[in-house]
Amino acid sequence: MKHIKPLIIALFISLFNLNYGVAQDWANLKMFEEANKKIGAPSEGENRVVFMGNSITIGWLNSRPEFFEGKPYINRGISGQTTPQMLVRFRQDVIDLAPKAVVILAGTNDIAGNTGPSTIKMIMDNIKGMAEMAHANGIKVILSSTLPAYDYPWRPGLEPANKIIELNRMIKEYSEAKGHIYLDYFSKMADERNGLPKKYAKDEVHPTVEGYKVMEPLVEAAIEKALK
């Protein structure tokens, strides 16, 4: 028994240090810190575009690297992130890179509760915050619809479909009111359940190559429109 108490104390200290470390970089500011330093300012005439998002955005680069090759596109997706985390890192991962446009794809992890309870208004406020920061710095704003999701495999039973529809309605209205571009993935990808079919996402959340192939011409058209 006398050996148990020191083990418990050691375990407590390990857990504390782990949680403390996570808390110190809640928005994962370290993820792209070095990469951002190496990028430098855009060259003359460069139509730089930053893709800001979560696992769906970084998964795009991992699954379809050829889409990004040879283009002035910078991917700044971080798996699992919610809009408050993106808002915290938006200056260093978007503004400081001086792009001509930013593509923001966000919201589904908020609805899943990845960083705690979140209302649709809270999500929208964070998206507005990112859009306002970009606009104030002369960056064209492309606001993507949140992708369809009938259920989340890591948080089953939340019934997110109707919340996503409501969020997308708000994103579209805000985009139109502010002169931003609304990028509608949802209507091109949703099935009869207002979910994401397996042909586009095996887990019905994260796109497959076929899913990204649907998204690519849509985002290219939005970027072209933004840069005109």
C-alpha dist (Å) from residue 194 to 147, 163, 168, 185, 201: 10, 11, 12, 12, 13
CA distance 210 to 123: 28
Write the pLDDT tens digit of every residue in 155-189.
999 999 999 999 999 999 999 999 999 999 999 99
Please give the average per-residue pLDDT across 121-137, as a whole number.
98
Write the pLDDT tens digit of every residue in 186-224.
999 999 999 999 999 999 999 999 999 999 999 999 999
Please give the single-letter amino acid code of residue 65.
P
Q: Is residue 8 scored above 50 in pLDDT?
A: no
Say if residues 85 and 55 touch (Cβ distance below 8 Å): no
DSSP letters, 51-89, are: EEESHHHHHHHHH-HHHHTTSSEEEEE-TT--HHHHHHH
Please give the average per-residue pLDDT across 123-135, as a whole number.
98
Domain range summary for the chain, segments of one domain joined by +: 46-227
Please give the single-letter amino acid code of residue 128.
K
Average pLDDT of the chain, as a whole number: 92
Say if residues 74 and 50 touch (Cβ distance below 8 Å): yes
Query: pLDDT band for position 42 (50/70/90)?
Result: very high
The dihedrals phi and psi of 199, each to the nearest 5 degrees, come to -65, -20
Say if residues 106 and 83 touch (Cβ distance below 8 Å): yes
Fold of 46-227: Rossmann fold (3.40.50)
